[in-house]
Chains A and B, each alone.
Chain A
Amino acid sequence: MALRRFDLEAGGDSFAFKPETEPTIAFWLGKYPEDKKRSAVIPLLWLAQKDNAGWLSEPAMREVADRLEMPYIRVYEVATFYTMFRLQPVGKHHIQLCGTTPCMLRGANDLKEVCEKKIGKPMHVTDDGRLSWEEVECLGACVNAPMAQINDYYYEDLTTESFGEILDKLGNGVDVDPGPFVDRLNSAPQGGLTSLMEGDLFDGSRNAISELPNLPSAAPAEPEAAPAPAPEAEAKTTLIKDSKPAPKAEDKPEILTVAAGEEDDLKRIKGIGPVNEKALNELGIFKFRQIAAWTPENVDWVEDFMSFPGRIEREDWIAQAKTLAEGEETEFSKRVDAGEVESSKDEGET
């Protein structure tokens, strides 16, 4: 580990928490008794780092120490112990590239070269102040190796090409959505599900309580009590319902062709992100009213087609679509419109 020292020059003389951070500080301080408030040192250092452009300056550390009434040396010990507290300035986008074994085996060393080529040495900040990088130990996303954390988000399943592209975009001020950079959802198999595909796995129908076959039946407490209604008893004994028949071709919903610019922003529906929107558009679904008109058969068909059984009902796409089709707003769509939902932004949008 390299020597860790404050960059005193870049740290300046003063630091103040942003006003909007104060409630969070109060939240953390509220967790501990007044005389044990030094327990909040790590959360407060973290907040100070957030408020100080991603690194912890010496005045920021002192501010934390003063607030917690701790000797500076004690806070200094904590700040230097945890390498996630950065004592030197970092870029607007700080890349923490995982170099631990799984990522290394999946090509992290090549990604390091990309960093070195595009940014420079570790902890070097590019002239425009946009990028810096460092190698870190395992970030716990080995299933999507190799990966990097850029500011607060994980960018996974990287290749030298996709990673280079991300760095180029970030370097040019273009935001990049986090997540896997191959064709898969989170850490699901590439190219769609290969197992756990039965729809009823997810609709809750299997949660019914069954009687265990070898359980010694307890004597009924009240022999006069009426036996449980037969249908319920039947349901209890049925552990696994018959799987549904495969959806038929006639259940495919109505499709449309619309001129460019005519389509609705389906991402305003909670549950539809850029990937799903694209898939729906390819199916020929562009309008809220189309989704609002879906029959249960149509829903089954779409879910089967898109390999996510139960999700449309769970997320209530149809009701959302009805509201939006009438020109009204939902809670979620308001947030989308306000630009607060990262996953509903278009790629390349700044």
Chain B
Amino acid sequence: MSDDLFKLNIDGEEVEVPRSYTLMQACEEAGAEIPRFCYHERLSVAGNCRMCLVQWHGAPKPIASCAQTVGDMRMNPDGTPPNISTKGDYVEKARNGVMEFLLINHPLDCPICDQGGECDLQDQAVAYGRADSRYELNKRAVEDKNMGPLVKTIMTRCIQCTRCVRFAAEVAGVEEIGMISRGEGAEITTYLEESLTSELSGNVIDLCPVGALTSKPYAYNARPWELRKTESVDIMDAMGANIRVDAKGDAVMRIMPVINEAVNEEWLSDKSRFIWDGLARQRLDKPYVRRDGKLTPVNWGEAFAATKDVLSIAPEKIGFVAGDLIEVEQAKAALDLARAMGVQNTDCRPAGAAYGTSGVREHYLMNAPLAAVEEADALFLVGTNPRVEAAVWNARIRKAWLWNELKVFVVGEASDLTYDYTHLGSDPSAIAEIAKQAGFEKPMVVVGESALAREDGNAILAAANDAAHSIGSIKEDWAGFGVLHTAAGRVGALDTGFVPGEGGVDTAGILNGGMDAIVLLGADEVDLSKTGNVKIIYIGSHGDAGASKADIILPAAAYTEMAATYVNTEGRVQMTRRAVQPKGEAREGWAILRALSDVLGKKLPYDSADDLRAALREANPIFAGLGYAPGHEGAEALNEKIGSGGSSVSGAPFTAAISDFYMTNPIARASKTMAECSLQKQGLETPVAAE
């Protein structure tokens, strides 16, 4: 037997597990199922629910398997491996007793409880509970607590597992939930019932094994067994978190995280989780054409005819701008159409950005996978605040900081990132400081996309790349340099080549006058105030900034309503699935452009989404690798330094890319829940800061 392995006899089956395993993990290795409430793989061990009791033959009492380290166990007196039973009368009786105590104060309100049907306590009570209650005294009742607009509390149901407390303290890094008082008086609460402020607070709903913390927006809306569950991909940030869209009829009822260790582990940011009510509000469900200054609903034929009128001008006077949420299919179709029309003015980058035209994909990817931060020993954040730009990744950074002694350095705005960091400076000149931080094995340099949208964006990228080279971020097996994007559609659009063509102008050029017609592909985050006298065609799903200025609106499907390809900031190609039908007459973006191309007489060469994707794969083979992120394979392409083109960095400090975490895209702005969160945050920021 090796030194790091330990033999156990579990239910008569011999298993050999690492000494660092808990007894619970060893039992699972042996195929036994251990019930639990307080234990969670991604949180510290509390050992307070006692549901995971097993029998260790020879021990005087049942053992809480979650808190027993295998390496601390001793052999039987005769030297044979310890015998563990996870079944049998002894264990049954122990768990039965625990369950009886848990149920003493638990209300029998399953019929009106939102957790019903997906409740750990309910499930385990079926397996281990008594049929009746022997408790004759009054049950305890606990006051419900305010936890903000997302988490609904029914605290009498709480069994004090403290998962939520540990999540807030360990993963979210915002210590705001706690257990006050003690014994029978113990209660879970936030400090004086203030609202949760973490961007990850919704995860406590998933963590709660009972119905004490449930989703407030989803309350009493549906039962889990009524929901149609579709696994998909989130597009609220550039991480591409894996989600499950639960729908009833044609409405999305809730969004839950799906485990993907490489991307979001099992967490989801509040924006991704609670955005769904925005999918039913402010929707563009019919084509509109502006007549006499008023948007009038029309049919598709009329809308296309009007579009043809607008676009029948010199191609130099037409611009295509792709928005933050654009899917690859739409970008590809739009780009093909634009080029077919002779339009070179196409761009998917925010105004002012000049990166991404070198033709080297690694220059705009994050390169190191999101999970690589757990291997890294230093992380340099340049002009980015991952807490709001990629909240779930921020939790992973915190994890690495907490457990792997990752050192974090920030060039940019000094804000609370939930972990300690060294602030090297607020303006791009501090990038030079990075080069002085030598001595790290696997350093990562991450530049925020907003830093590249500045006038000196290319110089910043070049300077950061230079620094990354000098500290050894780029090696054969380590590509620790890249860009953290904020928009889900950006990398995919760049991969299709959605940048200005030969002689074309970029986003700023398109929007700062000079065009006669602009096609906005869901572009709402752009400044439309300087476009001058121009006809705007808006293709998108929500009536937001772009649609309100538009002369023609072509309604498109949202990300839950179509199968669409997105590429996340690491370069990972992922696909959403259709969970519900598009609203009204809305169509998928690529289909609109395909139909339009026919009207314009420039028919695109694909008739179905599959044909389109085949064309995509042909044009760029990366689209063939679904779910794949290149990671350090990009290191070779990074060996050559990124040139600044002769420009140099300015002294202007970096500013926050996202001023309001809850309001970053048209779907979020349509969501009532997000509006509440936003108000809450603003409300919190004023009085507390004054104290």
Contact = CB atoms under 8 A, between A and B. Distances in A.
Interface of A: 1-4, 6, 8, 58, 71-74, 76-77, 80-81
B183 A73 contact: no
A72 B176 CA distance: 8
A76 B185 contact: no
Most buried by A among B176, B177, B190, B192: B192
A4 B191 contact: no
Given A73-B178, A77-B179, 13 more contacts: A1-B181, A1-B182, A1-B183, A1-B184, A3-B143, A3-B181, A4-B181, A58-B192, A76-B178, A76-B180, A76-B191, A80-B180, A81-B182
A74 B175 contact: yes
A217 to B, nearest CB: 46
Contacts of A6: 192
Contacts of B177: 73
Contacts of A4: 180-181, 185
B176 A3 contact: no
Contacts of A2: 185
Contacts of B184: 1
B190 A81 contact: no
Q: Closest 7 A-B residue pairs measured CB to CB?
A: A71-B175, A73-B178, A80-B180, A1-B185, A73-B191, A72-B191, A77-B178
Contacts, number: 41
A8 B191 CA distance: 13
B531 to A, nearest CB: 48
A1 B140 CA distance: 11
A74 B143 CA distance: 20
Contact of B181 (A8, A71, A74, A81): A81
Most buried by A among B179, B180, B183, B190: B180
A71 B192 contact: no
A1 B185 CA distance: 6
B151 to A, nearest CB: 15
Most buried by B among A1, A2, A74, A77: A77
Interface string B617-646: 000000000000000000000000000000
Could you tell me the dominant secondary structure of chain B's interface residues?
mixed
Interface string B500-540: 00000000000000000000000000000000000000000
A218 to B, nearest CB: 44
A8 B179 CA distance: 19
Most buried by B among A58, A73, A76, A80: A73
Could you tell me the dominant secondary structure of chain A's interface residues?
helix
B176 A71 contact: yes
A73 B176 contact: yes
A45 to B, nearest CB: 14
B194 to A, nearest CB: 9
A224 to B, nearest CB: 58
Report, as a range, how many residues of chain B touch the other chain. 10 to 19
A239 B176 CA distance: 67
Interface string B165-208: 00000000001111111111100001110000000000000000
Interface in B348-387: none
Interface of B: 143, 175-185, 190-192
A85 to B, nearest CB: 11
A73 B190 contact: yes
A86 B502 CA distance: 75
8 contacts: A1-B181, A1-B182, A3-B143, A71-B191, A73-B177, A73-B191, A76-B191, A80-B180
Contact of B175 (A3, A8, A73): A73
A67 to B, nearest CB: 15
Contacts of A81: 180-182
Contacts of B182: 1, 80-81
A258 to B, nearest CB: 60
Nearest to B185: A1
Contacts of B180: 4, 76-77, 80-81
A242 B489 CA distance: 102
B501 to A, nearest CB: 54
Nearest to B182: A81
Nearest to A13: B691
Contacts of B181: 1, 3-4, 80-81
A81 B369 CA distance: 44
Contacts of B178: 73-74, 76-77
A350 B395 CA distance: 62
Contacts of A77: 178-180
A71 B179 CA distance: 13
Nearest to A80: B180
Contacts of A71: 175-176, 191
Contacts of B190: 73
A73 B185 CA distance: 17
A133 to B, nearest CB: 20
B185 A3 contact: yes
Nearest to B142: A3
Contacts of B175: 71, 73-74
Nearest to A82: B182
Contacts of B176: 71, 73
A58 B185 CA distance: 19
Contacts of A74: 175, 178
A8 B143 CA distance: 18
Contacts of B185: 1-4
A205 B176 CA distance: 64
Contacts of A76: 178, 180, 191-192
A97 to B, nearest CB: 20
Nearest to A8: B192
A344 B179 CA distance: 47
A71 B197 CA distance: 13
B137 to A, nearest CB: 15
B57 to A, nearest CB: 37
A71 B175 CA distance: 6
B160 to A, nearest CB: 13
A88 to B, nearest CB: 14
Contacts of A73: 175-178, 190-191
Nearest to A70: B175
A245 to B, nearest CB: 61
Contacts of A72: 191-192
B106 to A, nearest CB: 19
Nearest to A2: B185
Nearest to A4: B181
A77 B168 CA distance: 15
B430 to A, nearest CB: 27
A81 B185 CA distance: 9
A268 B144 CA distance: 61
Nearest to B179: A77
A73 B184 CA distance: 19
Nearest to B168: A73
A62 B178 CA distance: 15
A77 B180 CA distance: 5
Contacts of B183: 1
A197 B539 CA distance: 104
A81 B175 CA distance: 18
Contacts of B191: 71-73, 76
A199 B200 CA distance: 74
A1 B183 CA distance: 9
A2 B191 CA distance: 19
A76 to B, nearest CB: 6
A171 to B, nearest CB: 31
Nearest to A58: B192
Nearest to A79: B180
Nearest to A6: B192
Contacts of B192: 6, 8, 58, 72, 76
A4 B183 CA distance: 12
B48 to A, nearest CB: 14
A64 to B, nearest CB: 14
A169 B352 CA distance: 81
A236 B163 CA distance: 68
A87 to B, nearest CB: 10
A339 B143 CA distance: 50
B191 to A, nearest CB: 4
